[in-house]
Amino acid sequence: MQRTFALEEIQDVARQILSQNLKKVVTFHAEMGVGKTTLIKALVGELGVRDMASSPTFSLVNEYEGHNGERIYHFDLYRLHTEEEAYDMGIDEYFYSGDWCFIEWPEKTPNLIPIDHAAIHIKLLPGGKRLLELRN
């Protein structure tokens, strides 16, 4: 799936992504400030989370409860120094739990990301629009 969008369309983009029979582990690839966290907040909202979602920059992971009690984990791995740090926190248990895992900065743990995952790439375009590519 490919889509060009403005930030005002983010909820519609989230609905479209979730309609793609999305895999439960999703990596997000983009430069800082392009909108990874904003998109994840929209996805979490579409999955039924009513609490305000926020970036887990300092905690590394935030946990939410969606529709029917399903678990959603939002990871921001930017501050990790080594894969061993992630492994020590039990990150692999989250990734193989069958629950939603939205992962920012997955390049920090390339050997720990499950092979069977979806990837979202976002690029900032001139004029402020974004180009999103989903590989599911």
Q: Which whole number is the average pLDDT over 25-47?
A: 95
**pLDDT tens-digit series, residues 92-124:** 999 999 999 999 999 999 999 999 999 999 999
Nearest CA-CA partner of 78 in 126, 37, 25, 127: 37
C-beta of residue 43 within 8 angstroms of C-beta of residue 68: no
Q: Which whole number is the average pLDDT over 20-27?
A: 96
| pLDDT of 58 higher than 60 | no
CA distance 16 to 8: 14
The domains of the chain are located at 2-135
DSSP output for 85-128: HHHHTTHHHHHTSSSEEEEESGGGSTTTS-SS-EEEEEEE-GGG
**pLDDT tens-digit series, residues 40-50:** 999 999 999 97
CA distance 84 to 54: 25
What percent of the chain clears pLDDT 90, i.e. is strictly above it? 85
- Token look-up 């907040």 returns 41
pLDDT at 67: 87
CATH of 2-135, one of 3.30.420.40, 3.40.50.300, 1.50.10.20, 2.60.40.10: 3.40.50.300
pLDDT at 59: 65
Dig out the tokens for 93 from the structure. Answer: 């248990």
Query: pTM for the complete prediction?
Result: 0.92
**Strand pairing partners for 61?**
75
Q: What single-letter amino acid sits at 5?
A: F
pLDDT at 94: 96
How many CA atoms within 13 Å lie on the side-chain side of 111? 6
Dig out the tokens for 42 from the structure. Answer: 């929209």
